[in-house]
Amino acid sequence: MSKYKEIKGFKVQTLASDTIASQVLGGTWASAASLNTARGNGNSSNQGTSTNTIYFGGYPPAPSRLAITESWNGTAWTEVNDLNQGRSNQGGAGVYTAALCYGGGTQPGQFHPVTTESWNGTSWTEVNDLNSARRELGGAGLQTAAMAIGGNHAPAPKLANVEFWDGTSWTEGADLPTATSNMAASGLTTSALSINGSPTDTKTFKYNGSAWSEDADTNTPRNNLGGSGSGTSALASGGNNVPGTVQTANTEGYDGTSWSELSDLPTGNQALSQSGAAASGNTDAMMMGGQTPSATTATNTWSAPTTFTKINLGQVYYNSTSNAYKVTEQAVPTGSWASGGNLNTGRNGGGSAGTTQNTGLAFGGSGPSALTESYNGTSWTEVNDLNTARNEGSRGMGGTQTSALMVGGAPSPAFTESWNGTSWTEITDINTGRKASMIAATSNTSAMIMGGEPPPTFSVDTEVWNGTAWTEVNNLNKGRNNGAGTGTVTASIAIGGQIQPPNAAGQEVESWNGTSWTEIAEVNTATRGQGISGTTNTDTLIFGTNPGASAKTEYWNGSSWTELADLATGRGNLYGFGSIYGAGAAGGTPPATIVSTEEWNAATLNKTITVS
């Protein structure tokens, strides 16, 4: 006879370790044999590996500048022939048998005069000088093809110019987009990165072999950090957590598109040097020296697993090492905001739609404006305009990227327009004209609006749209405008807004069950003009607020509100779209009109299954 388990059960995979999203995310730092001389602000053969590299220059306490060179064989450091000129904060390139050292500083406030030295595996030889003296520069490339990136040279505190070494001499090339010093650098002359530094802090600049462009920001602002890898696969570690003076242990990995948090260094460290071959793909690197905060002999090697099981959302497995059953899920409370693409036209106070992070729609807004823009997760594209320019139209989740509504607004408070993915069409007016109402729409044929402002009062009216006509249903408990709504015609939510009375930003929240409104738990921060994402009245994010251009983010799980990671930029009257797992916050006003977009991502985690 068949058993019920054989009919309805399923097999659970047994793994020795948790699943991970990529090989590099499983990487860790391990302590290795110490340098012979404690120092920071030296440099290394940046294309070296965890089994062979050299580290040269630096300083212990100021004002000394060291000429010491040490060679690493994978087991221990050995002192070899010194540089001809002691220096710190210099550029470095190459491998352990063929390296380059250039620029740097000699004594405090003085700059080494453009000297370049070449290492042949035994000794250093002076070769042709840089064109521009500099220290605190970024170094990338090989002994025969290197880059000197940015840096610092009085009287210009920061430099944007980049020089290229062809094995014989230095030539001026394409400048950085922003003058920068104290950055990390990685890669070769055909593909390189300039990472963070001063004053850019979180900026990444990418070189494609002919020109620089600004790329994804790192998660942690810092300067005086270490970097290794290539222009499409890099590591950034340690540094000074700008604008403070605390050494950070953070390590981040770059996959050619974005930065992800990886395993930290054992100890917070700045002024360190880091090496790792471009071809290693972030699976092999090492760091040495630095300040923790005093000069250190620390050496750490980075390695990533050669085999791993890729993470799969919804997967259930048994971890035999930890003796626990695990499930892979997206954890909303651990989410964070990252930079996205800019709107073509900054504005605020319009309508928005889109159920995912990669399918946003922003329409109308300050001006009043008729502009409509569509977002694909990377960039915004202008599409067909509204028929009537308007500001303070319906706020909240106005449908999807291909099926949305814009209701009311100024100066035409009764007009309704329907979006079919290509163009807007005027349809039946709402019964009570209003501006700054809240909307909960799943498409252009199923929606409801609530509240708003038909002067001189704040409305309690609720109307439901069935694709043909608007029908008045039971009222809100409190009149309000400029809040946010989301959900369906049978399960929606109205959040915050300006409440009457007392005519101020409110914390009140009401939930709709298809028949009537019920007051539920209040948000933690009084809010109006906020963005919103989510598609039900039990799973919702709100973010930003006006007045005050707040960066607050709160999550509703159906029973309580929880404060999550803040937006990078406080903003109010913004465009919000997406879900609790992946959302977008675009535009707004702090009070200047914003063009930037931020993207919310809930982390994918392996959670232990517990039975109670």
pLDDT of residue 327: 92
pLDDT in tens, 266-304: 999 999 999 999 988 889 999 999 999 899 999 999 999
Over residues 238-245, the mean pLDDT reads 78
CA–chain centroid gap for 516, Å, is 40
More confident residue, 570 or 592: 570
Last residue in a domain, options 260, 287, 303? 303
Say how far apart CA 185 and CA 231 lie, in whole Å: 9
Instruction: Please check whether residue 29 lies inside any domain of the structure.
Output: yes
pLDDT band at 545 (very low <50, low <70, confident <90, very high): confident
More confident residue, 495 or 110: 495
3 state SS of 550: strand
pLDDT of residue 343: 96
Q: Which of 52, 54, 51 is nearest to 67 (CA)?
A: 54
Instruction: Please check whether residue 48 lies inside any domain of the structure.
Output: yes
Instruction: Please check whether residue 35 lies inside any domain of the structure.
Output: yes
Q: Are 597 and 380 contacting, i.e. CB atoms less than 8 angstroms apart?
A: yes
Instruction: Please check whether residue 196 lies inside any domain of the structure.
Output: yes
Quick one: 461 and 568 in the same domain? Answer: yes
Say how far apart CA 237 and CA 226 lie, in whole Å: 5
Instruction: Please check whether residue 14 lies inside any domain of the structure.
Output: no
What the block records as the tokens of 442 is: 């799943």
Say how far apart CA 192 and CA 141 lie, in whole Å: 8
Domain that holds residue 33: 24-303
pLDDT in tens, 295-326: 999 999 999 988 888 888 889 999 999 999 99
**For the chain, percent of residues with pLDDT exceeding 90:** 76
Quick one: 273 and 372 in the same domain? Answer: no
pLDDT band at 612 (very low <50, low <70, confident <90, very high): low
Residue 500 has pLDDT above 80, yes or no: no
What the block records as the tokens of 146 is: 């290197």
Burial state string for 148-160 with b = 16 or more CB within 10 A and e = fewer than 16: bbbbbbeeeebbb
Residue 156 has pLDDT above 80, yes or no: no
pLDDT band at 24 (very low <50, low <70, confident <90, very high): confident
- Environment class of 108 (CB within 10 Å of its CB; exposed 0-12, middle 13-18, buried 19+): exposed
Quick one: 72 and 121 in the same domain? Answer: yes
Instruction: Supply φ then ψ for residue 178, to 5 degrees.
Output: -140, 135
Instruction: Please check whether residue 206 lies inside any domain of the structure.
Output: yes
Quick one: 457 and 558 in the same domain? Answer: yes
Beta pairing partners, 353: 361
pLDDT of residue 208: 95
Most confident of 20-29, 345-354, 586-595: 345-354
Say how far apart CA 60 and CA 39 lie, in whole Å: 5
pLDDT of residue 258: 83
What the block records as the tokens of 243 is: 């604008």
CATH of the domain at 74: 2.120.10.80
Over residues 178-182, the mean pLDDT reads 94
Quick one: 34 and 159 in the same domain? Answer: yes
HEC profile for 2-51?
A: CCHHHHHCCCCEEECCCCECCCHHHCEEEECCCCCCCCECCEECCCCECC
Residue that has been written with the tokens 């950085």 in this structure: 176
Q: Are 328 and 312 contacting, i.e. CB atoms less than 8 angstroms apart?
A: yes
Edge-to-edge, what's the strand order for the sheet holding 28-31? 28-31, 299-303, 284-288, 273-275
Say how far apart CA 128 and CA 137 lie, in whole Å: 18
pLDDT in tens, 579-605: 999 999 999 998 778 999 999 999 888
Quick one: 342 and 255 in the same domain? Answer: no
Is pTM, for the whole model, over 0.85?
no
Q: Are 551 and 564 contacting, i.e. CB atoms less than 8 angstroms apart?
A: no
**For the chain, percent of residues with pLDDT exceeding 70:** 95
Average pLDDT, the chain: 92
Most confident of 6-15, 187-196, 197-206, 590-599: 187-196
pLDDT band at 60 (very low <50, low <70, confident <90, very high): confident
Quick one: 50 and 122 in the same domain? Answer: yes
Instruction: Please check whether residue 408 lies inside any domain of the structure.
Output: yes
Quick one: 454 and 543 in the same domain? Answer: yes
Q: Are 431 and 473 contacting, i.e. CB atoms less than 8 angstroms apart?
A: no
What the block records as the tokens of 171 is: 């030539």
Quick one: 265 and 410 in the same domain? Answer: no
Residue 80 has pLDDT above 70, yes or no: yes
Quick one: 299 and 344 in the same domain? Answer: no
pLDDT band at 4 (very low <50, low <70, confident <90, very high): very low
Quick one: 258 and 346 in the same domain? Answer: no
Instruction: Please check whether residue 580 lies inside any domain of the structure.
Output: yes
What the block records as the tokens of 74 is: 């994978």
Over residues 173-196, the mean pLDDT reads 96
Say how far apart CA 235 and CA 156 lie, in whole Å: 29
Q: CA-CA-CA-CA torsion for 279, 282, 283, 289, nearest 10 degrees?
A: 110
Count: domains in the chain: 2
Over residues 501-530, the mean pLDDT reads 91
Say how far apart CA 376 and CA 359 lie, in whole Å: 5
Quick one: 239 and 375 in the same domain? Answer: no
pLDDT of residue 130: 97
pLDDT of residue 358: 94
Instruction: Supply φ then ψ for residue 251, to 5 degrees.
Output: -120, 135
pLDDT of residue 591: 74
pLDDT in tens, 94-126: 999 999 999 998 866 566 679 999 999 999 999
Say how far apart CA 11 and CA 297 lie, in whole Å: 50
Residue 575 neighbours by CB distance under 10 Å: 32
More confident residue, 597 or 503: 597
pLDDT band at 2 (very low <50, low <70, confident <90, very high): low
Say how far apart CA 503 and CA 156 lie, in whole Å: 53
More confident residue, 189 or 612: 189
Instruction: Supply φ then ψ for residue 8, to 5 degrees.
Output: -110, -15
